[in-house]
Amino acid sequence: MTDVELGRLPLPLAALRALAAGAGIVLAPDWPRALEASAATIAGIVASGRVVYGVNTGFGALATTTIPAEQLSELQRRLVLSHSAGTGAELPPAIVRLILSLKINGLLKGFSGVRPAVVQALHDLLARGVLPCIPEKGSVGASGDLAPLAHLAAVLIGEGEARLAGERMPAGDALRRAGLAPLALAPKEGLALLNGTQVSTAIALAALFRAENGLASALVTGALAVDAAKGSDTPFDPRIHAVRGHRGQSLVAAIQRRLLAGSRIRESHLDCGRVQDPYSLRCQPQVIGACLDAIRHAAEILVIEANAASDNPLVFEGDAVLSGGNFHAEPVAFAADHLALAIAEIGALSERRIALLTDPALSRLPAFLVVNPGINSGFMIAHVTAAALASANKSLAHPASVDSLPTSANQEDHVSMATHAARRLHDMLDNTETILAIEWLAAAQGIEFHAPHQTSPPLREAHDRLREIVPSFVEDRYLAPDIAAALAKLREGALRTLVTEDILS
């Protein structure tokens, strides 16, 4: 995997996807230049005695307290320690690596007033495999992701805990084993590390890429369900979608036309007399297309945020140090909420197709997709599981961004809840991916009842990839391992690779 270059130029979505997948980073050749200029501005302010928030004052509700010059380094150290108040399980290593990359990327824009030594120290953590232990809970998504980023910054100064080669240990030990030394923070550097939306953005980006895989997988399982139920491909006719005009809808219809093209099952019932299919089959372009448009919008927002200078105050030319609110993660919270709606609806529509396939009155297949129903229950409870997960997603999809609790003695009187908004997406994706895995099992079982007629070549490939790991369902058996195997294969991208279109472009 090619390394991603970080510098002042913005990273495109493809580079962020590579970072999320584990790509390394390299720093652009001229990377220190912008940092040196803004760090010199901060040094000049300290030398002049000019009072500037975050440089020589307290923080938050303590912003009116001026700090003497001889205590400024200790001020930054204590800021990091006091803000390391997160709780809950550790964020996964892949997300921690992405957070580190995004923090470096934000600082490299040159508006944060940090020395090149700070970026070099963050780069060294990544390069040597020292990953801060960051608790997943504790951020309200305003003034940045303060608590989780404090746990990151603590490792730089030799405090807190980190993982090295998978082993959890005190940060000082991890630095020593990696051949690194703790960093002494200069004025403003602790604040620059703690302010910022990199945690919520990284968690949301990881969810975005999982949602991309989930949506593509749903296009395949949905097409497979159409053939299993002997549904019509007429609802995917491009003329229908052209007159409505939604981009995602038209693309979904085009993909499903391609996936179904050449199906002998479809040819076998062209004159069957059925007029219309249930909505879960024929309205896939309208529903999944809307989900795709929502995911695309979220991607646009998250790309902007991943390239943003989101700490406070910011340093500009002419010794201007401006205090604002770029740390407020409302855009990330909104993007995560949009993703939540899409993830919930992808799962909801899939659950309805499973219900259709297992109901002989609708599918005209054997009850619960098994021969000898009665002594065999088939996919009866697999559908119940899918229904339970789809219902759970309804609650999780409630917008997090509409919630707010004031903090810091009402100085931070409106917050975004972006980190929670992003974090809950992964629980929702666990649910939706499992629903899709169950649909894959059910639809593959369904098309086998139409032998000797075969489905289309790409859908045969989807069927065959499943049968490599899960045999046909002949009679009742312990079903949980089948679902787990299909889920693992789906998460690996076994269905995503059958959708050759770049759905997020």
> 67 - beta bridge partners?
none
Q: CB of 320 within 8 A of CB of 189?
A: no
Q: CB of 241 within 8 A of CB of 257?
A: no
> Which entry of 31, 53, 59, 368 is annotated as an active-site residue?
53
Number of Cα atoms under 13 Å in the Cβ half of residue 313: 23
Which one, of 176, 152, 174, 191, lies nearest residue 73 by Cα?
191
What is the token pair recorded at 235? 């609802």
Residue whose token pair is 């989780």 = 148
φ and ψ at 19, to 5 degrees? -65, -40
Q: Which helix (H) or strand (E) holds 321?
A: strand 320-322
> 322 - beta bridge partners?
314
Residue whose token pair is 């901060």 = 42
What is the token pair recorded at 487? 């889920």
SS3 content of the chain, % helix, strand, coil (to 5): 60, 5, 35
Residue whose token pair is 């550097």 = 189
Q: Which amino acid is at 99?
A: I
Q: CB of 327 within 8 A of CB of 310?
A: yes
Q: CB of 369 within 8 A of CB of 446?
A: yes
Q: CB of 392 within 8 A of CB of 347?
A: no
Does the annotation mark 478 as catalytic?
no
**Residue-wise DSSP of 239-273:** HHHHTT--HHHHHHHHHHHHHHTT-HHHHTTTTS-
φ and ψ at 476, to 5 degrees? -55, 135
Buried b (16+ CB within 10 A) or exposed e, 416-448: bbbbbbbbbbbebbbbbbbbbbbbbbbbbbbbb
Catalytic residues, by residue number, are 53
